[in-house]
Amino acid sequence: MAVRRRSVAHTILGGVWLGWKVDSNWADPWLFAGYAILRPLAQSLILVVMYWVIAHDTTTGYFGSLMVGGAFFTVVQYVLAGTSWCVIEDREFYSTIRYIYLASRSLVWYLLGRAVAKLALALLSVGVILVFVRVALGAPVWVHGLQTPAGLAALAAGVGATAAMGIGLSGVLLLAARRGEFYSEAVAGSIFLAAGAVFPPDVLPRWLQGVAAVLPQTYWLEATRRWLVEGSWQWSAWLSRLPDGELLGRLLASGSGWGLAGVAVFLAAEAYVRRTGTLDHHTED
């Protein structure tokens, strides 16, 4: 048993190490840090300017909620879209997926390692954005409301569910031919829209509100707003009506459902490509 545990840990750590090398070894650490931060910071600043040209006041709970949602959505982009993109990268660009497959305890553990490397970068961006909006714009972003252990539990549940969804999407990409980046971006973009990351889900059409209600990211981002934003109740009438306990319950229920589905999809896809010998088929030009 000890051997198995170490082997899983080695696979995860190998994924983390490889992810870091692939993502960062083209530049020195400072240049890379700038690169990793600049893109999400620009995304957040777009929201800042959009808000400012209409509403001007950046000290409201609404503005803080907008920025927290936008900042933490970086985690979804990096962990969900970024992890699933690793399949395309390893299979199509570097042609290393067969060696990784043979050397890993399981591709699931390897991809989790890659997700951890992406998560570290995403959290760095989140930190920079939140400090910026707090210090430079006076947004009411600080630990507030929902207690910190509950906030951290919500963060763990949200990240875990997102990573599992990323594993599921990786399974889909094992089967997909060409245009891999579009699958990753389309899923992340759909969640961005349906979960109301940067606007209250109340303004969505009714059918999209139904989608929002089953996504763990909807509840995770709301829990994070309650944890970090003073006046987060200004954000969404629908979500602010949910008591803390029910909010966390919904997060756990939807996160577990999507997480289990994601892993199941991946294992089914992995079995299929093993059976058909298409794990390392090149499909891009």
Partner 1 sequence: MGPSDASTGPGRRAGRGIARSGARALRAFWARAYVRVVAANRDLSWILFDVALPVLGTAAYVFVYRSLRAPEAYLGFVTIGGAMTAYWLNVLWSMASQLFWEKQSGNLEAYIVAPAPMMAILAGMATGGLFMTTIRAVVIVAVAVAWFRIPLVAVDPAGVAAAFVVSMVGLYGLGMSLSSAFLLHGREAWHLSNLMQEPVYLLSGFFFPVRALGFWVSVAASIVPLTLGMDAMRQGLYGPEAAMALLPLRVELAILAVLAIVFLLAAWWLLRVMERLARREGRLTLRWQ
Contacting residues toward partner 1, per CB under 8 A: 26-27, 35, 38-40, 42-43, 45-47, 49-55, 66, 179, 182, 185-186, 189-190, 192-193, 196-200, 202-204, 285
Closer CB to partner 1, residue 85 or residue 109?
85
Give least dist CB 69 to partner 1, A: 10
Give least dist CB 62 to partner 1, A: 9
Give least dist CB 155 to partner 1, A: 23
Closer CB to partner 1, residue 104 or residue 236?
236
Closer CB to partner 1, residue 8 or residue 45?
45
Interatomic CA distance for residues 30 and 52, integer angstroms: 31
Count the helix, strand and coil residues of the chain and give each as a percent rounded to the nearest 5. Answer: 80, 0, 20
Closer CB to partner 1, residue 193 or residue 263?
193
Looking at residue 136, the DSSP 8-state letter turns out to be: T
Closer CB to partner 1, residue 180 or residue 255?
180
41-55 in b/e form (b: 16+ CB < 10 A) is bebbeebbeebeeee
Give least dist CB 38 to partner 1, A: 6
139-171 in b/e form (b: 16+ CB < 10 A) is bbbeebbbeeebbebbbebbbbbbbbbbbbbbb
Give least dist CB 35 to partner 1, A: 6
DSSP helix/strand/coil, 1: coil
Which residues are bridge partners to 141 per DSSP? 229
Closer CB to partner 1, residue 151 or residue 200?
200
196 sits in the region (left: phi over 0; alpha: psi -120 to 50; else beta) called left
Give least dist CB 99 to partner 1, A: 17
**Cα–Cα distance list, 153 to 1, 190, 248, 270 (Å):** 29, 25, 9, 31
Q: Is 7:105 a contact under the CB 8 Å cutoff?
A: yes
